[in-house]
């Protein structure tokens, strides 16, 4: 049981974000519905109270008027007639029926005929006394139970006598005192008094209860609707999460494969360079003598450091930034270019007279805080590209460095006298990168393991060192690579 409860709680926690929002919307809707219901209920209650009061007044007035009219008709028929005992009993019975019939109503509290006789107000509530009154006698009430009715009548007698209209007095919100003028043989004789407390609140309560029930049903429908929405949304969200997870796994697997492929190509690219450098080391060691000991030592140290960098790069796909640029590094670009030209490119060319280098350096060029062999990895593929794609039998490579002290910028320009770079390779993609610096872009027919040198140069220069690199063509023909360095 506990495991099942824990499972349910875990399932709810998985979708707490969606549940929270659905609950907020549900609470807002319920509160809004309750507020609207309350306003409607108050308005409806006020309307029902006003309607009920008017209805009660009309109902009591009609009841009292009907009773008074019935008595007047009976008295008109009976007055002056010579009645035997049997007829008197029938008349008394008729009077009693009219006078007591109203008291049978649950909301009628008092019904009495208040007649005036010789400056007296005589309350009559039974047929015998009423018959005595008609035959000329002066009936005396059996009790003083109608004193309050007589007292109220005394207060209203003058206004009733003048207008001879029904007077209704409201006591509180439920009790009514009705005085119906009683006219016998054309003369004002008194009033028929009716005190009633019509209990019509049950009608109002039933309507309001029905309204409350409707509101509860509506809120329940909203609740079940939101529970249904939550179930559907939870199912949809779980399906979405599962689809996203599968998509992320597939994307991560693809990115991992791409990284592994790129890493493999990078190892191949640097390993090829390392093989050439190892050949230079062997050649220098074979030619080692006491005369060239210092120069060979300097060259071998440079080569060895480059080999160490190659091995380090094989360990990391994305090496830490402090191994690329740091305050500890102080690299002279002029020296790096000179060493690469003299100890790399001139040693690998088939015939040195077919390849000429022109170096035009600015002696005021400040050092850069970038690892020397990272600079080597940037410049080597650019110079090699000029050699491989010049399209000339005799190639002249010119390397120029300039420093602008005011702008605190340095420029290193590599150019050749070849046929230049094809126009479509200089176009930029959506990210603003020239096509030449994209991966697998090459003019060679065999693209296997080609089109990677310029890509490495751009990634290292732009992404790792923060330098700007741009390719172009000279006006007189030939390719140009411009590296712009901003000094901090």
Per residue, what are the HEC states of 289-302?
CCCCHHHHHHHHHH
Q: Supply the CATH number for residue 418's domain.
A: 3.30.565.10
Is pTM, for the whole model, over 0.85?
no
- The 10 Å Cβ neighbour count of residue 363 is 7
Indicate whether 231 belongs to any domain: no
Alpha-carbon gap, residue 277 to 302, rounded angstroms: 10
Q: Are strands 175-184 and 167-171 parallel, antiparallel or unpaired?
A: antiparallel
Residue 362: inside a domain, yes or no?
yes
Task: Tell which of 161, 183, 199 closes a domain.
Answer: 199
* Residue 261 domain flag: no
Angle between helices 372-388 and 293-315 (to 10 degrees): 90
pLDDT over 50 at 118, yes or no? yes
Domain boundary, last residue among 141, 174, 199? 199
- Stretch among 62-71, 258-267, 325-334, 378-387 having the lowest mean pLDDT: 258-267
Query: Is the model's pLDDT at 13 over the cut of 60?
Result: no
Q: Which two tokens stand for residue 325?
A: 């640029």
| CA gap 373, 308 in Å, rounded | 10
SS3 content of the chain, % helix, strand, coil (to 5): 60, 15, 25
- 216: DSSP letter: H
Residue 474 lies in a domain: yes
> Mind listing the pLDDT tens digit for each residue in 307-335?
787 777 666 666 788 888 888 889 999 99
* Max Cα distance, the chain (Å): 175
340-361 pLDDT per residue, tens: 888 888 877 544 568 889 999 9
Range of the domain at 481: 319-486
468 has pLDDT over 90:
yes
Taking the C-alpha atoms of residue 364 and residue 333, their distance in angstroms, rounded to an integer, is 11
Which of these three, 180, 199, 218, is where a domain ends? 199
Confidence of residue 162 (pLDDT cuts 50, 70, 90): confident
Is residue 480 a contact partner of residue 430, using CB atoms and an 8 Å limit?
Answer: no
Q: Are residues 181 and 329 in the same domain?
A: no
Is the pLDDT confidence value at 264 over 80? no
Let me know whether 24 and 169 are in one domain: yes
Question: DSSP states of 80-149 as a string?
Answer: T----HHHHHHHHHHHHHHHHHGGGSTTEEEEEEEEEETTEEEEE-SHHHHHHHHTT-----SSSTTHHH
Does some domain include residue 144? yes
Rounded CA-CA distance 18/12 in Å is 10
Q: Which of 139, 117, 118 lies closest to 128, judged by CA?
A: 139
Contacts within 8 Å (CB) and 24+ apart, 34-38: 34/215, 34/219, 37/211, 37/212, 37/215
Non-local (6+) Cβ contacts of 182 within 8 A are: 68, 71, 72, 113, 114, 115, 188, 189, 190, 191, 192
Residue 110 forms beta bridges with which residues?
Answer: 195
Paired residues of 400 in beta bridges: 360, 413
* Mean pLDDT for the chain overall: 78
Report the alpha-carbon distance of residue 441 to residue 227 in Å, rounded: 57
Sequence-separated (6 or more) residues with CB below 8 Å from residue 176: 56, 57, 60, 168, 169, 170, 194, 195, 196, 197, 198
CATH label of the domain that carries residue 92: 3.30.450.20
> Cα(404)–Cα(136) distance, rounded to whole angstroms?
140
Q: Provide Rg for the chain, Cα atoms.
A: 58
d(CA 15, CA 24): 14
- The total domain count for the chain is 2
What phi and psi values does residue 305 have, to the nearest 5 degrees? -65, -35
Kindly state whether residue 403 falls inside one of the protein's structural domains: yes
The DSSP secondary-structure symbol of 475 reads: T
Q: How far apart are CA 75 and CA 81, in angstroms?
A: 10
pLDDT grade, residue 59 (50/70/90)? Answer: confident
pLDDT score recorded for residue 14: 53
pLDDT in tens, 426-467: 888 888 888 888 876 666 555 455 557 788 888 889 888 889
Name the more confident of 20 and 35.
Answer: 35
Are 165 and 27 in the same domain? yes
Same domain, 17 and 157: yes
Between 199 and 435, residue with greater pLDDT: 435
In whole angstroms, how far apart are CA 294 and each of 280, 299, 338? 16, 9, 18
Residue 470: inside a domain? yes
| Mean pLDDT (whole number) for 180-192 | 81
Domain assignment present for 306 = no
């Amino acid at each position: 049981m506990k495991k099942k409860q824990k499972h349910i709680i875990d399932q709810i926690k998985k979708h707490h974000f969606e549940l929270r929002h659905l609950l907020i919307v549900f609470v807002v809707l319920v509160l809004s519905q309750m507020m609207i219901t309350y306003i409607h209920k108050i308005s409806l209650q006020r309307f029902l109270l006003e309607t009920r009061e008017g209805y009660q007044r009309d109902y009591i007035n009609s009841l009292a008027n009907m009773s008074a009219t019935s008595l007047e008709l009976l008295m008109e028929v009976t007055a002056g007639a010579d009645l035997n005992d049997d007829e008197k009993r029938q008349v008394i019975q008729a009077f009693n029926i009219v006078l007591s019939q109203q008291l049978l109503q649950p909301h009628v509290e008092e019904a009495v005929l208040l007649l005036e006789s010789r400056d007296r107000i005589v309350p009559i509530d039974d047929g015998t006394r009423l018959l005595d009154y008609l035959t000329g006698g002066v009936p005396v009430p059996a009790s003083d139970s109608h004193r309050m009715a007589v007292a109220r009548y005394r207060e209203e007698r003058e206004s009733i006598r003048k207008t001879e209209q029904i007077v209704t007095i409201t006591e509180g919100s439920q009790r009514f005192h009705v005085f119906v003028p009683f006219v016998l043989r054309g003369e004002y004789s008194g009033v028929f008094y009716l005190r009633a407390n019509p209990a019509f609140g049950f009608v109002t309560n039933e309507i309001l209860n029905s309204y409350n029930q409707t509101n509860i049903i509506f809120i329940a429908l909203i609740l079940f609707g939101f529970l249904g929405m939550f179930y559907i949304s939870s199912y949809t969200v779980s399906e979405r999460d599962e689809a996203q997870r599968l998509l992320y796994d597939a994307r991560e697997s693809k990115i991992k494969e791409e990284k592994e492929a790129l890493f493999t190509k990078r190892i191949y690219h640097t390993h090829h360079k390392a093989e050439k450098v190892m050949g230079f080391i062997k050649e220098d060691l074979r030619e080692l003598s006491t005369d060239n000991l210092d120069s060979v030592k300097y060259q071998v140290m440079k080569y060895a450091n480059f080999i160490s960098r190659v091995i380090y790069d094989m360990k990391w796909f994305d090496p830490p930034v402090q191994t690329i640029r740091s305050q500890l590094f102080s690299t002279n670009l002029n020296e790096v270019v000179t060493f690469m030209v003299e100890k790399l490119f001139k040693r690998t060319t088939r015939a040195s007279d077919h390849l000429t280098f022109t170096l035009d350096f600015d002696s005021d060029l400040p050092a850069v805080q970038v690892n020397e062999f990272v600079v080597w990895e940037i410049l080597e593929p650019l110079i090699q590209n000029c050699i491989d794609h010049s399209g000339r039998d005799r190639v002249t490579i010119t390397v120029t460095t300039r420093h602008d002290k005011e702008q605190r910028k340095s420029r290193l320009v590599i150019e050749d006298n070849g046929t230049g770079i094809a126009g479509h390779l200089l176009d930029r993609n959506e990210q603003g990168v020239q096509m030449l610096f994209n991966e697998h872009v090459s003019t060679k027919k065999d693209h296997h393991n080609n089109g990677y040198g310029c890509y490495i140069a751009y990634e290292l220069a732009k992404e790792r060192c923060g330098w700007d690199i741009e390719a172009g063509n000279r006006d007189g023909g030939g390719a140009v690579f411009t590296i712009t360095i901003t000094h901090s």
